[in-house]
């Protein structure tokens, strides 16, 4: 029998039963967005930010480091 206890949440299934379904679905969304590109506030190039630590991001081109959202870079607001 195939293990299917992670249900429909896909990659967020790693969180197990914690956090509840609502947040886990949200995690799936923000992680899909995280794989996309974001514009660096300093060199203005469209890059995939490296996540150095929880909520800390770095531009791979100019090494600009900034604190943003825990899951998705947030800046310029």
> Which residues of the chain form contacts with Zn ion (CB under 5 A)?
40, 42-43, 59, 61-62, 64
Shorter beta-carbon distance to Zn ion: residue 12 or 40? 40
| Residue 34 near residue 71 (C-beta atoms within 8 A) | yes
- Minimum CB separation of residue 63 from Zn ion in Å reads 7
Q: Which residues pair with 56 in a beta bridge?
A: 53, 67
Q: Which residues pair with 65 in a beta bridge?
A: 58
- Minimum CB separation of residue 30 from Zn ion in Å reads 21
- Minimum CB separation of residue 57 from Zn ion in Å reads 10
**25 by DSSP, 3-state: which?**
helix
DSSP assignment, residue 76? -
How far apart (Å, rounded) are the C-alpha atoms in residues 42 and 63? 9
Shorter beta-carbon distance to Zn ion: residue 24 or 49? 49
Shorter beta-carbon distance to Zn ion: residue 28 or 62? 62
């Amino acid at each position: 029998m195939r293990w299917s206890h992670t249900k429909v949440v896909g990659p967020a299934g790693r969180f197990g039963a914690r956090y509840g379904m609502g947040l886990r679905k949200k995690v799936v969304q923000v992680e899909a967005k995280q794989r996309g590109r974001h514009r660096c506030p300093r060199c203005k190039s469209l890059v995939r930010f490296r996540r150095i630590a929880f909520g800390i991001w770095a531009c791979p081109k100019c090494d600009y480091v900034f604190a943003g959202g825990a899951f998705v870079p947030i800046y310029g607001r």
